[in-house]
């Protein structure tokens, strides 16, 4: 049977960005040679023993609780499980001196779904036919933003400025405020902090400047790697709160990706719109995931384990990549994005003699899989050669295998530039 798809059906049935690359990676790993590959493409968090034990303990508490039946065997509020909302508001109010109320919080089935709700509530076409754009102020950014809107033309990204330390082989992206434009056509602004894929952390001043420019529209900050949980920031940062800012928190990198628990914190009117959309879409997020998250947050255990176990694990892996690149890379213009957060490293090979897709294929011949960078520039309208020279490298394998993989990458780099 070959059903006839609508315009939206055609769009949503196609793989976009990294998901298309992952299809090739899965086929490669299923080819019978998977043991020979070092796979540095994964976005799945490492299962850390102390983090898994936290979720086991919270599950045991839930099983022993009289609330178990109410949590698992009944529908709940579309806004979310009340004890989780209470735990979040109490934690953030105490930690950051806020005055959050239940109407400021919405629990979603993962933070990806939150941006889908936002993209199709505030982006796209108005009833008068005007296109409201989704502005990504710093490109590259999360590849999933390219698929959140039912109207792909609504997504517009801005090319950044680059701070390059040639001698140290490091660089950093900065928003180009001379180009960034917020107009009446803007529906909302969206960016990740720390950034997936680069690990970039916008400064407090940069975030405040963006929020001020977008004073009349919502600013969604994807905080999937931010403090207080999972606290995958390697540099000091705190959430920047403003009346038009909505923080999107995810518990995936805090060891709970299978339960799809996302948290939106923002203005009550904005939260109300997102809640209505979610009610129509899926009623509510998994209450089991919400219930064990409520226990982990209310006890303070999740915030503590994020600082003492999750962050150090990935920070140490990044250090392995840094030192191995510094030791093994040939004398070519290579640059590693500064270590500021997330579970990835971001490598730029300037003047690469082939594009990122060809380098990705060539590196597979060395038994290493990384992710080409070009899918991480959704919404960028101009053809920028830089985006075909970058790569995302996962920090989720062992330190020993990461070192071997980087040495192989360095060998390929020397070969490619030598031929070029």
The model's pLDDT over 135-171, given as tens digits with 9 standing for 90+, comes to 999 999 999 999 899 999 999 999 999 999 999 999 9
Strand pairing of 245-250 and 219-222?
parallel
Could you say which of 272, 302, 332 is where a domain stops? 302
The verdict on residue 70 lying in a domain is no
- Are the C-beta atoms of 22 and 42 separated by less than 8 Å? no
The verdict on residue 55 lying in a domain is no
Residues 248 and 322 in one domain: no
pTM above 0.85, yes or no: yes
Averaged pLDDT, 233-249: 94
d(CA 154, CA 379): 8
Q: Give the number of domains in the chain.
A: 2
Residues 116 and 240 in one domain: yes
- Are the C-beta atoms of 372 and 347 separated by less than 8 Å? no
Averaged pLDDT, 237-241: 89
The verdict on residue 358 lying in a domain is yes
Q: Could you check whether the bond before residue 140 is cis, i.e. omega within 30 degrees of 0?
A: yes
Could you say which of 302, 328, 363 is where a domain stops? 302
**CATH code: domain of residue 264:** 3.40.640.10
The verdict on residue 69 lying in a domain is no
Averaged pLDDT, 279-283: 89
Residues 316 and 340 in one domain: yes
Location of structure tokens 């196609």: 14
Q: Give the whole-number percent of the chain exceeding pLDDT 90.
A: 85
The verdict on residue 43 lying in a domain is yes
- pLDDT tens column, 409-420: 999 999 999 986
Residues 228 and 124 in one domain: yes
Residues 191 and 297 in one domain: yes
Residues 321 and 193 in one domain: no
Residues 242 and 390 in one domain: no
Residues 224 and 298 in one domain: yes
The verdict on residue 262 lying in a domain is yes
Q: Give the whole-number percent of the chain exceeding pLDDT 70.
A: 96
- pLDDT tens column, 304-320: 999 999 999 999 999 99
- Are the C-beta atoms of 346 and 390 separated by less than 8 Å? yes
What is the per-residue burial (b if ≥16 Cβ within 10 Å, else e) of 13-29? eeebbbeebbeebeebb
- pLDDT at position 36, please? 81
Residues 137 and 282 in one domain: yes
**CATH code: domain of residue 327:** 3.90.1150.10
- pLDDT at position 32, please? 61
The verdict on residue 241 lying in a domain is yes
pLDDT band with cut points at 50, 70 and 90 for residue 14: confident
d(CA 231, CA 341): 9
The verdict on residue 161 lying in a domain is yes
User: Which stretches within 76-230 are classed as H helix?
Assistant: 82-96, 111-122, 204-213
- pLDDT at position 1, please? 74
Could you say which of 282, 302, 322 is where a domain stops? 302
- pLDDT tens column, 25-59: 777 777 665 558 999 998 889 999 999 999 999 99
Largest CA distance in the chain: 68
Smallest CA-to-CA distance from 140 within 173, 112, 171 is with: 173
- pLDDT tens column, 386-410: 999 999 999 999 999 999 999 999 9
Residues 197 and 290 in one domain: yes
- pLDDT at position 66, please? 93
- pLDDT at position 241, please? 87
- pLDDT at position 16, please? 65
Location of structure tokens 């049935």: 13
User: Domain range for residue 340?
Assistant: 7-50+304-419
Residues 141 and 289 in one domain: yes
Averaged pLDDT, 252-261: 94
pLDDT band with cut points at 50, 70 and 90 for residue 79: very high
Query: Whole-number mean pLDDT of the chain?
Result: 94
- pLDDT at position 20, please? 67
Q: How far is CA 316 from CA 76, 111, 311, 319, 402, in A?
A: 41, 26, 9, 5, 11
User: Which stretches within 299-344 are classed as H helix?
Assistant: 301-305, 311-328
- pLDDT tens column, 199-223: 999 999 999 999 999 999 999 999 9
Residues 294 and 319 in one domain: no
Q: How far is CA 286 from CA 74, 223, 259, in A?
A: 11, 20, 7
Averaged pLDDT, 84-110: 97
Strand pairing of 368-369 and 371-372?
unpaired
């Amino acid at each position: 049977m070959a059903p006839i798809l609508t315009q939206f059906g055609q769009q949503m049935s196609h793989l976009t960005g990294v998901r298309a690359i992952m299809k090739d990676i899965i086929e490669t790993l299923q080819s019978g040679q998977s043991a020979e590959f070092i796979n540095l493409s994964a976005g799945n968090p490492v299962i850390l023993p102390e983090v898994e034990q936290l979720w086991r303990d919270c599950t045991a508490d839930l099983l022993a609780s009289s609330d178990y039946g109410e949590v698992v065997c009944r529908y709940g509020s579309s806004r979310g499980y009340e004890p989780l909302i209470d735990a979040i508001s109490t934690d953030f109010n105490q930690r950051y001196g806020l005055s959050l109320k239940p109407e400021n919080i919405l629990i979603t089935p993962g933070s990806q779904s939150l941006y889908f709700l936002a993209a199709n509530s505030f982006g796209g076409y108005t009833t008068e036919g005007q296109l409201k754009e989704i502005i990504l102020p710093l490109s590259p950014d999360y590849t999933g933003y390219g698929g959140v809107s039912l109207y792909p033309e609504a997504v517009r990204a801005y090319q950044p400025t680059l701070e390059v330390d040639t001698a140290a082989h490091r660089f950093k992206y900065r928003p180009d405020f001379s180009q960034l434009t917020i107009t009446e056509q803007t529906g909302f602004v969206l960016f990740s902090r720390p950034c997936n894929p680069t690990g970039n952390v916008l400064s407090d001043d940069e975030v405040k400047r963006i929020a001020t420019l977008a004073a009349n529209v919502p600013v969604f900050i994807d905080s999937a790697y931010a403090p207080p949980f999972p606290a995958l920031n390697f540099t000091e940062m705190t959430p920047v709160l403003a009346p038009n800012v909505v923080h999107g928190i995810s518990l995936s990198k805090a060891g709970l990706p299978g339960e799809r628990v996302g948290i939106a914190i923002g203005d009550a009117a904005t939260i109300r719109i997102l809640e209505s959309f979610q009610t129509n879409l899926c009623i509510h997020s998994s209450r089991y995931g919400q219930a064990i998250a409520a226990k982990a947050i209310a006890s303070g255990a999740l915030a503590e384990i994020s600082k003492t176990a999750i962050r150090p694990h990935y920070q140490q892996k990044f250090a392995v990549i840094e030192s191995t690149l510094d030791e093994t890379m040939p004398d070519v213009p290579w640059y590693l994005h500064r270590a500021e957060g997330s579970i990835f490293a971001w490598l730029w090979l300037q003047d690469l003699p082939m594009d990122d897709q060809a380098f990705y294929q060539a590196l597979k011949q060395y038994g290493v899989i990384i992710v080409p960078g070009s899918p991480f520039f959704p919404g960028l309208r101009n053809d920028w050669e830089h985006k075909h020279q970058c790569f995302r490298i996962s920090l989720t394998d062992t330190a020993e295998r990461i070192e071997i993989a980087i040495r192989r990458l360095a060998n390929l780099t020397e070969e490619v530039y030598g031929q070029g």
